[in-house]
Structure 1
Amino acid sequence: MADRTYLKPPWMQQHVGNRLAPLFGRSMVSRLSVRGRTSGRWRTVPVAVLDHEGERYLVSYRGLSDWALNLRATPECRLTVRGRTEELTTEEVPEAERPPIMAAYREKFGSMPTVSSVLTALPDPADHPVFRLRSRG
């Protein structure tokens, strides 16, 4: 996809850091499981869930990631926080509503390794898919 804005994580983060993140950042890092848009198989990645103004959000801070593309195709997901798994559905936040969410995300998670530098490299909120989490039911 030629117009896909995405900053691929360095090898070390992708293959080592993402596996260790839930161990060291248990208070900030959750595990998101989404169905692959082609395979239908469950894929799991570490994410930081933003609580903002009474809502919970997932921000694809590196841009249009595979998990964001998967959520666009199938908005149902599983979120595991401290060993507890929730079945959720998502709704993508329109670009016009993203700036305050992105500002809150930077404020809360900007001190995490790579987050601030990636958000500086991709400053436009339109480059970051944002999903509002909803309980299924």
Structure 2
Amino acid sequence: MAYLKPPWFVRAVFNRIAMATGLGHSETLTVTTRVSKQPQQIPVVVPEVDGVKYLVSTRGESEWVRNIRADPRVTLGKSSYLAAEVPVDRRAPIIAAYRPLAGKVVEGYFRDLPDDADHPVFALTPAR
């Protein structure tokens, strides 16, 4: 699966600002890393479709995607969820809801990775 690595500025500066301020409707996603078991935090935009919250990876097979596949327990803000990957044939309406929320900044990623299969999507169920 494809992956578009974020530039240094996004990793080192923009992501921190987005998480601290909620810039662009972003929320902070916390996952557990596969090897070190340490928390990884990334800003995400979370579309809601038919009452279900989703995570969409605009850059493809990212580290946070691999981490969720290894441990589906995630935190979004202060709420805990279990993440379940959505099959490719069910991703289109979720991605369609995501794109206007995320804004023009993500359009280049969808141009470079036009196939829904290149954008992992996870449904979030509140953890009990």
Deviation at 1:24, TM superposition (A): 4.3
Matched, 1:22 2:19: yes
Q: Which moved more, 1:56-65 or 1:99-108?
A: 99-108
Query: What RMSD over aligned residues (CA atoms) do the two structures have, in Å?
Result: 1.4
- After TM superposition, the runs of 4+ consecutive aligned structure 1 residues lying more than 3 A away are 23-27
Larger relative CO (CA 8 A, sep 6+): 1 or 2? Answer: 2
Deviation at 1:122, TM superposition (A): 0.6
Q: Distance in 2 between matches of 1:87 and 1:23?
A: 19
Aligned AA (2:37): G
Deviation at 1:100, TM superposition (A): 1.3
Residue 101 of structure 2: which of 100, 104, 108 is its match? 108
Segments of structure 1 that go 5 or more residues without pairing to the other structure are: none
User: What's the % identity of the aligned pairs?
Assistant: 42
Q: C-alpha deviations, 1:99-128, integer Å up to 9, x for none?
A: 1111111122233x3x11111111101001
Segments of structure 2 that go 5 or more residues without pairing to the other structure are: none
Report the count of equivalent residues: 128
Q: Specify the SS of the correspondent of 2:74.
A: strand
Matched, 1:88 2:85: no
Aligned residue number for residue 42 of structure 2: 45
Q: Is the 8 A contact 1:106 1:119 kept in 2?
A: no
Matched, 1:67 2:67: no
Q: Distance in 1 between matches of 2:101 and 2:29?
A: 19
| TM-score w.r.t. length of structure 2 | 0.93
| TM-score w.r.t. length of structure 1 | 0.87
Q: Distance in 2 between matches of 1:27 and 1:135?
A: 24
Q: Distance in 1 between matches of 2:66 and 2:107?
A: 23
Aligned AA (1:125): D
Q: Which moved more, 1:101-110 or 1:32-41?
A: 101-110
Deviation at 1:40, TM superposition (A): 1.0
Q: C-alpha deviations, 1:31-53, integer Å up to 9, x for none?
A: 11111111111111111111122
Q: C-alpha deviations, 1:74-119, integer Å up to 9, x for none?
A: 0001111xxxx011111100111011111111122233x3x11111
Q: Distance in 2 between matches of 1:73 and 1:50?
A: 23
